[in-house]
Amino acid sequence: QVQLVEVGGGLVQAGDSLRLSCAASGRTFSTYNMAWFRQTPGKEREFVAAIWYIGGGTEYSNSVSGRFTISRDNAEKNQVWLQMNSLKPEDTAVYYCAADGNSPSPSIAAPGYLRREYEYDYWGQGTQVTVSS
């Protein structure tokens, strides 16, 4: 069982930066693929970024590629971060941290695996990010 707690959301202006953190409980954190998703009212939750448990490879949605960076610390802090730069009003959403309990390696996972919401077994409560214009 994994518990995820996100912090770092807030109200910022367009062009600002924000860093979200997700703290994970459990000694097997290092074996989980991790991701960030976001959701706005009336819309489905959408993929933002993900990082493989092995190798550290990352994937990003087209809308955030080049502006957002996902990273993780397996050794001490059991945390995953989302650095968000050059924020836009359309980035406004509740951001969720997610952990994949199955976590295949990138060498055997199907294309697009990390982007699929249903592959993730554990979710945080979400943190609100609001970007004003």
**For 76-110, how does the pLDDT look when each residue is reduced to its tens digit (9 = 90+)?**
778 999 999 999 999 999 999 999 988 888 888 88
Strand 18-24 to 79-84 pairing: antiparallel
- Percent share of the chain, pLDDT over 70: 100
Q: Which residues contact 88 (CB under 8 A, 6 or more apart)?
A: 14, 131
Better-scored residue on pLDDT, 106 or 69: 69
Q: Average pLDDT of 2-27?
A: 94
Q: Average pLDDT of 31-49?
A: 96
Q: According to the model, what pLDDT value does residue 2 have?
A: 87
Q: According to the model, what pLDDT value does residue 13 have?
A: 98
